[in-house]
Homo-oligomer: A and B are copies of this chain.
């Protein structure tokens, strides 16, 4: 099997959520696996000097309209969370803690966390909510709560975020395939084209 389709995202990114709905199918259609990798856009924005999209004049209003329209096109619910932007640190730590022993379970957790944040209006910045989600997909709830405060787990996330920044990942979603980076849910058609043609 060829290399994985690396899928970088921030749980607080609505375009990341949209891409998460398609990435596994896209990879699978071309005999690849999607490797999910949550990052923290806050840390990225410190390097690139960017602001959250929805806070930028003109662009922000566009983004809100566009997100609703994009979600309709793909036939999914998307509800803007009451609290936004929100911290995705707890969800991301939980992800890497689960992934350390079971990557498939971590991906299921990620899907559930995205859904909680972007469909169910749940506040995934909270440790207890994240622990509930982890438990719902099969992890131990108390272990999850403990993991969120574990220095080793914090370090796991920090290392992943640093590594992503060092590789030039600056947004969410950001897909890397065969060393080629594609930024944006609206670029998945180019990811597909790349996989189909084996590059160009």
Contact = CB atoms under 8 A, between A and B. Distances in A.
A186 B189 CA distance: 9
Nearest to A193: B73
Interface stretch (A8-16, A42-50, A105-113, A135-143): A42-50
A72 B200 CA distance: 7
A146 interface: no
B48 A59 contact: yes
Listed from nearest, the 3 A-B pairs whose CB atoms lie closest are A58-B170, A48-B58, A48-B57
A73 B190 contact: yes
A79 to B, nearest CB: 18
Interface stretch (A25-33, A85-93, A123-131, A176-184): A176-184
Contact of A186 (B58, B187, B200): B187
A52 interface: no
A183 B62 contact: yes
Given A73-B193, A73-B200, A187-B186, A181 B56 contact: no
